Structure 1
Amino acid sequence: MEKDLIIKYLEKEIRFHDCLIIPGLGGFIGSYESAYFDQAQGKYFPPSKALIFNTNLQNNDGLLANFIKDGEGISYVSALTIIENTVAVWQKSFEEGQRIEIGDFGYIYKTRLGHIQFYQNKAINLYPGSFGLTAVTATGAKITEVITPKEKVVEFPVSKAIVTEKQIPVKESITEKEVPVINLSTAEKIEEELPETSEEKIIEHPATRRFRIPRKYVIAASFIPFMFYSWWIPAKTDFLKTGKIQVSDFNPFVTPSTAQYAPRRTFLTDHKEEDFTPVEEHLKMLSPGTKTFSYQFDEDCYIPVKLEGDSPLLENSSENEVEPVVNKNPEVIEDKVDETPVQPVSKGSYHIIAGCFGEKGNADNLVASIKAKGYDAQILDQHKGLYRVSASGFATKSAALESRSKMKNDGISGWILKY
């Protein structure tokens, strides 16, 4: 029968495998149990294998089907068909309240709650290493008490020498010396006087001693930082000028970088007085009747000048020196400086703004000084006529806050801008 065929290979192969699965029903799992002593029976039992049945092992691992295929000489598909038919018969038997005997080592049954359980017959040892070993009965050992006779001890009296010494009175004339008398007695026991023990000295454990600093020294030490910074802040920082103080100002070991600024370039600052051409030289070259002319300030700059009133220059410019009337507020044509456009920066980033300048040259100087300290500084943009200098840019605000604290130690201060 197919039922007996599966039981045959289960009983044979379960001894040599720790896991054997019946597809669609469950799997047997074996574990090693060491030898033990049963005190109630008074026997020693050899090592064995304990089996449990797990219904969660439903997938076919092919092990049982291969055993049937090789043993019966059939195909693998036929072996799987035999297993499926046998499991269907067993499930029907469980519904009828029957149990399935798995050879001699136990049986499978279904509880009232619908759980499939396995009961193992402990009388059958499935462990291959214990083949031929049986339980051994432990016999009690008799303990014989050996009594050895005690040796007889004979005590002999010991004589004691008692020395008595008489005090000799002091006399002016002694003719004979008195000799001390020693009496010997054998009837008395020897008595030994123990020397008096001196009082024990109590030594204090060194761990119990505590060194305490006097309170006045602690108070005096706390005033040292206060006195130092009361001198340091007014003398070494710009707190009195700006009214602002930074964390880096409290570090006496960091030298703050002094900002260097270039003056704003204008037309008048770029030219000296000796570079100007006198007005009289231009008037001498004018033709009579000229009302307006362009005053050449330098090679690239011309100032329009209007002559007001009757000028003697119209009649004879060579004889009379004409004093031209010059407009007090001439229109100054400044040189246009080619400025490098600011590189665009991606939105959604956070920047540490180290300064804002109206002159691009000052912004470039600050960028160079920050880059010299190892930071990726750049001119962020031009906002409301001011060039904003970014010491470094970050993707998150937390990274910007962390970097700003490090920059303060290098003497770089700034505020965070979400761009």
Structure 2
Amino acid sequence: MVLERYISDLLYRYNCVVVPGFGGFLSQYKSAVHNTQDHSFSPPSKSLSFNKQLSSNDGLLVSYMAEVENRSYEEMLQQVMGTVEAWKRTLDQGGRLSLEHIGDLKSNKEGRILFQPSYQLNHLTSSFGLSSFVSTPIAREVMKKEIVALEEKVPLVFTPERRKETNLRSYLKYAAVILLALSTGLTGYRFYNETLSQQQIVVEQAQEKVAKSIQEATFFDTSPLELPTLNLKVVSKKPTVGIHHIVAGAFRYKANADKKIRLLKRRGFDAGYLGTNNHGLHMVTYSSYSDVDEALQNLRTIKNTQSQDAWLLSIR
């Protein structure tokens, strides 16, 4: 019997799991973390801690183990107490107690138990599938100082001597530019007039073709068309049987789900295995129904006589 596995299973649903005669493991919500040193991001999680003072048996751990193992409460309590005695001997001898997916415990010189939580498993179900990752930092370049330094080193392009130069060659350049612009404008104006005339001719020809087509389309056959007869065959679909399931629980290990099915069948239920949900947990049902009213009536009976945790899953 691996006691820490049952503790880990209960930490998914509860914030406190007490080991009788040993202490309580507590979980608290922890927001996402951004480490600015290594640029890593961690998703939201549950931070674990240990309190030696919470050693009174609240029945949660032992009842859960008895249900999974299909044994009596007293038998499972004795096994838990035997495991606790072995844990205490390990700590009293100065050894380190390592609990899988929970953390490590060690006793110091003053007799206090030091707890180092494990970060291998995230017990927060809403963060299922999320893992830590490292993002490459963005390098931002600051160019202001470099631009100022560059402007101080750029020489002036025009000197006073160059600005005073005026000769006949400069005037001839300006005159050539003006003549070129005038000749280009006259040629463009002539080309524009010729293009406009051609466009008017094309528009008139198109209008004549449209008018002729309208006259020809005036005479057409107004007799109704005979459409073929289309026969449709309607097939009624029968409702699917067994779409309303009364769920007894979801288990992390398939072996525990099989034990639950055998237990329910011995109690007279038509129990079955429904498959795994989005969290990878194996789902077990009391029974399945095609009538929703019948399913709800049996759900109320099961809640009153078997378990308040039963619920209805409808699949369409």
The structure, 1 or 2, with the larger RCO (C-alpha pairs under 8 Å, 6+ apart) is 2
TM-score above 0.5, yes or no = no
- Normalising by structure 2, report the TM-score: 0.43
Greater C-alpha radius of gyration? 1
